[in-house]
Amino acid sequence: MKTVSYSLLHLILLVSPMLAEDQTKTSSANPTMPQPQITLSEEEWKKRLTEEQYRVTRTAGTERPYGKIYEEFEKQGEGTYYCVCCGVELFTSKEKFHSGCGWPSFYDASTAKNVLERADHSHGMVRVETLCKRCGAHLGHVFEGESVSANTPTKRRFCINGVALHYVPKGGEAPKLLELGSGAVEKKKEALAKEAGVPVSKP
Ligand SMILES: [Zn+2]
């Protein structure tokens, strides 16, 4: 019994500094990378989003090109594009252009400046990933110096998954912003309700 306890303690002592070091490494590797203001658990995101929205925005997935959402995007007129996860403004129709790539394309983010860019080395490529600054949703990537964006003011193509966007036509009502820390608040509410209504069961 003593041996077991000792082994466990030994393991904890070994693992703890590794975890602490990892955290330091993450923060020092991206000193300027702002942390998302909204941090819901994976379960909470799954509850709020459709399966495809969750796959793309929370697991850095990519939607099929030339899909139904893209077809709709191509037809949309003046309006604003909000984050499907947290409701913050990301793009407007002013920066939209037809690139023919099969995904919604913009040459710039909206003036609200809620789109974050960071290096992405996944799938053996060097790309720049775009994310929602407020909730960390994966939106897509941004490419520079291509012929398709040569005639745009920025010469950049924000290649965005349509499923990550919530379109509101000009004059329409903006979506309600997901409250900051609502995940934690909901959890606390659930815990309080449990405490008040249901007697705490002990195993
Ligand atoms: Zn967001």
pTM equals 0.75
Domain residue limits, the chain: 42-170
Cite the beta strand spans of the chain per DSSP E. 79-83, 89-92, 105-106, 115-120, 127-132, 138-144, 156-160, 165-169
Please confirm, yes or no, whether 132 is among the known catalytic residues.
no
**How far is the centre of ligand 1, averaged over its atoms, from the C-alpha of 62 (Å)?**
17
**How far is the centre of ligand 1, averaged over its atoms, from the C-alpha of 83 (Å)?**
5
**How far is the centre of ligand 1, averaged over its atoms, from the C-alpha of 63 (Å)?**
18
CATH 2.60.40.10 matches 42-170: no
**How far is the centre of ligand 1, averaged over its atoms, from the C-alpha of 139 (Å)?**
9
How far is Cα 161 from Cα 67, in angstroms, rounded to an integer? 10
Among 83, 85, 135, 159, the one annotated catalytic:
159
User: pLDDT 10s per residue in the chain (203 long)?
Assistant: 444 444 544 444 444 333 333 333 333 345 456 788 888 999 999 999 999 999 999 999 999 999 999 999 999 999 999 999 999 999 999 999 999 999 999 999 999 999 999 999 999 999 999 999 999 999 999 999 999 999 999 999 999 999 999 999 999 999 999 987 655 556 666 667 777 776 544 44
